[in-house]
Structures are given as structure tokens and as C-alpha cells.
Amino acid sequence: MRGRGSQDRVREQNRAGILRALRRNTSAARVDICRQTGLSPATVTAITSELLHQGLIIGSDEDLPGEQNTRGRPRALLSINPDFGSFLLARILPDSFGLALVDFAGNTKASKVEKFLLHDVKRLGFLNYFTAKISSFLAHSDHPADLIREINVAFPGVVQTDEGVVSWSPFSPDQALPVSKTLQERFGCPSFVSNDTNMVAAALHWKEPEKYRQNFAVVLLDKGLGMALFLDGKLYSGANGMAGELGHCCHIPEGALCRCGRQGCLEAYLGSYALFRQASNLPQNTLPQDIVEPDGFVESLIRQAETGHPETLSLFERAGVNLGIGIGRLKAILDPDAFVVTGTSAQAMPFMKGGIEKALAQTLPPGLNQSLVVDVLPWDTDYVFKGLLASTIERLDYSKMSFSLARSTIRNQGLKENAS
């Protein structure tokens, strides 16, 4: 006999499955939800009625004639209630940040990208600076902060997801930034922080669940080198929430200087600043913060490679060898189904391919080498925001938080009605 806890978990899973079906299809009739989720009509009717009462979805509370067949009046359609609440999503970059205000149905209501100066960040402290910018953004969007259901932030660097702390980031001198705690105290809603590459993996899983379903890794080639792991159908963050730091694994002891301050990290050979350092014949110990890449530097390197420039072709081949060694190590340890390589430097993959294959042949036994799949994905900065939204929706739809939010909403509405 099932216990109460087991029954509650099954109900939560069914509820989340119904919400997911509505999010993917914008709107759907109960009979369509039954078909998509495999749930019985009785279960779907009971849960959707509850969701309607709580305000999470909108539509008719009763099936109209014709719900089970094509005759009669049009079928009643259910959809996510966009006005149930909103999310604030933020992506932090080394020189800018993006903010987006998204309603409960996933529609962007306001957005902003703003450059920042490291001088201002250092003078004010990053969290003081960031919370002030969020407050200004919300004020200009005419959106009350008390309607924000969750804040979700993506950072480059080393992030302790479970603790809500950024241990290290390339743009901030502050260590161990308590991002989640600070935002929660300031804005009064649950707040989360994740590594930006993890959000790319979350976006792929949400966008193409059949292709990126169980076990895959994302490698982000950009200013730095990021990685995310999706294992057993879930984003894997490790015991302390910091898994996936491929870029800061030691590649060559006492080697090139990395942005994190250590020597020999894999990022110090594959980040765009590292490629610039090599292309410019700068010493390996040149401080990354002293390296100023011109705009479009990686694109200019690719154009040189396309013309057959020997030094550039050699640079990309070496980069391919370094990347292949990193991928090979991960494949040998975890054996993911596929690797997805993306980011601004992923455009150079055709010129890195030979080096990658050479490295894999030397680092992997034949069986693993033959089963290796590497997908190259054109870079889209929206992937991070899509991942932030996907992870926020997943968290709320699968948690009991929405129940408490719904009860609070119903209670507040009742108080307003009584007051009037």
C-alpha cells in the first residue's frame, strides 16, 4: 500500500507533467493533455480543476460538450496564467549584464542590456551595484517587486549552486559572493544563481528533450572555457554545486597563466584571451587582465584560417589538440552520449577538427573513440536566458512552492474582495 508521501510525490509529478504540456503547447484541451501525458481523464480533470482554482492556469473549469469528440461546441482550452506572477532573469558577463522580466507563461515583458565599468563595481561592491541596477530596472518597467516569484542569475566562473554563492568570477575582485542570500533579502523572493554554461545545457534539454535527454556535456568556448553536465536526465552540479569546471582543471602543470590566477588551466589554452596571447606571441605568463582583445578578434582569426594562413591554421590545430584532450578525459570518465560545443570560438571547429581527432586517438581506447559524438552548435546568447527560464519553470512546476504561492494569491485576493 502506498504511503501518503508516495502519493503526494506522484501527484506532484502529474501536476508538473500537466503544466509542462501546457507550457510546450501554449494552450490545450483536457483530452489533448491526457494524450500527451498518458494520464487518465479523471486525473487530468481533478488536477486542472485545482490549478484553475489556484490561479496557475486559466480557461473553463468544466469540459464543454465536444471535449471527447469533434462534434458539438468547441473544446475548452486551458493555458498557463501569465498574470500569476513573474520571474526576473539575469545574465552576468565580464563587461555587461542583461536583465529580463518574464511572466508566468514565459513571455518577456521587459528587458535590458547594460555595460558596466569595473571601476564602478570595485568602488561600490558588485552586489550593491547589481541590486541597485535591478531596483532601477523594475522601477522603469513599472513592475512591483512583490510580484516577482523568483530571481535566477547566471554567472561566468565558479559557482556553488546549492549554496547560492559565486566563489570566483573573472570580473569581480570579491570572493565568495553570497548572491542568492543578498537578492532574497533585498527583494523578498527565492533567488538562485548558476553557472552560465549550465544554463545552456538546461536550454538544450528544454528545447530538444528527445535529442538532449539523458547524458550529454556542453562545452562553451568563449572568453573562457565553460562546461556543463547533464547526467541521468538531470543537470549535474556535484556534491558542492561546482561540478563541470573543465576550464580550471590543470592541463599543463606550471603552464600558461589563467584568469583564475593559477597556471596551466585548460582555459589558459582555449579561452579567446589565450588565443590572442598565442597569436600575438606574448609570453605565457602575461596577465590575462592585461590582454585587451580587439572586437571581433576570433572572427578575424577564422577569416585568416579560411585563406589558408599557416600560423593561424597551426594555432587552431593546437587548440583542437588541447580541446580533444579535455573531451577525451571526460568521455573516459563519464561516457556521455554526446558533447555539444558552442560559443563564439565554436565557429573555428572545422579548423580544430584535425587536432581534436589526433588527441582523441591518443587518449581514448578504440571502443570509446568510436562511440564519441560531438555536435557543433552555432552560438546564440539567448541560450543562457532560455536556460534560466527553463530551470526556473522546472523548479516551480516540480516544487510545492507554487502551491504556497497559489494559496497566498487566493488569500490576498480574498482580503481585497472583503475590503472592497
pLDDT value of residue 397: 87
3 state SS of 225: strand
Q: Are 237 and 227 in contact (CB under 8 A)?
A: no
What DSSP assignment string belongs to 280-345?
Answer: TT--TTS-GGG--PPTTHHHHHHHHHHTT-HHHHHHHHHHHHHHHHHHHHHHHHH--SEEEEESGG
- 303, 364: one domain: yes
- 62, 110: one domain: no
Among 47, 80, 113, the domain-final residue is: 80
The amino acid occupying position 251 is H
Task: Give me 63's grid cell.
Answer: 469540459
CATH of the domain at 121: 3.30.420.40
- What would the pLDDT profile of 261-298 be if each residue is shown by its tens digit? 999 999 999 999 999 999 999 999 999 989 989 989 99
Alpha carbon distance 180, 395 (integer Å):
15
pLDDT value of residue 301: 97
pLDDT value of residue 93: 86
- 356, 221: one domain: yes
- 9, 132: one domain: no
- 227, 323: one domain: yes
Structural domain containing residue 229: 208-376
- 329, 409: one domain: no
pLDDT value of residue 169: 84
Task: Give me 294's grid cell.
Answer: 580587439
- 71, 112: one domain: no
3 state SS of 113: strand
- 335, 410: one domain: no
Task: Give me 96's grid cell.
Answer: 555587461
- 280, 334: one domain: yes
Alpha carbon distance 207, 152 (integer Å):
19
The kind and range of the H/E element at 362 are helix 349-363
- 28, 101: one domain: no
Alpha carbon distance 209, 196 (integer Å):
19
pLDDT value of residue 108: 94
Q: Are 125 and 100 in contact (CB under 8 A)?
A: no
pLDDT value of residue 417: 42
Supply the Cα-derived Rg of the chain in whole angstroms.
24
Among 80, 115, 147, the domain-final residue is: 80
382-398 and 401-419 helices cross at what angle (nearest 10)? 80
Q: The whole model's pTM is what?
A: 0.86
Number of independent structural domains in the chain: 3
Alpha carbon distance 362, 170 (integer Å):
33
Mean pLDDT estimate for the chain: 87
Task: Give me 166's grid cell.
Answer: 559565486
3 state SS of 217: strand
Among the listed residues 403, 394, 405, the one whose alpha carbon sits nearest the alpha carbon of residue 16: 394
Task: Give me 355's grid cell.
Answer: 587536432
Alpha carbon distance 237, 202 (integer Å):
12
- 319, 280: one domain: yes
Instruction: Compute CA distances 279 → 194, 300, 319, 363, 409, whole Å.
Output: 32, 11, 12, 27, 58
Alpha carbon distance 168, 341 (integer Å):
23
Task: Kindly give the parts of the chain with pLDDT less than 50.
Answer: 1, 61-67, 69, 403, 406-420
CATH of the domain at 46: 1.10.10.10
Alpha carbon distance 198, 384 (integer Å):
8
- 294, 153: one domain: no
Among 34, 58, 80, the domain-final residue is: 80
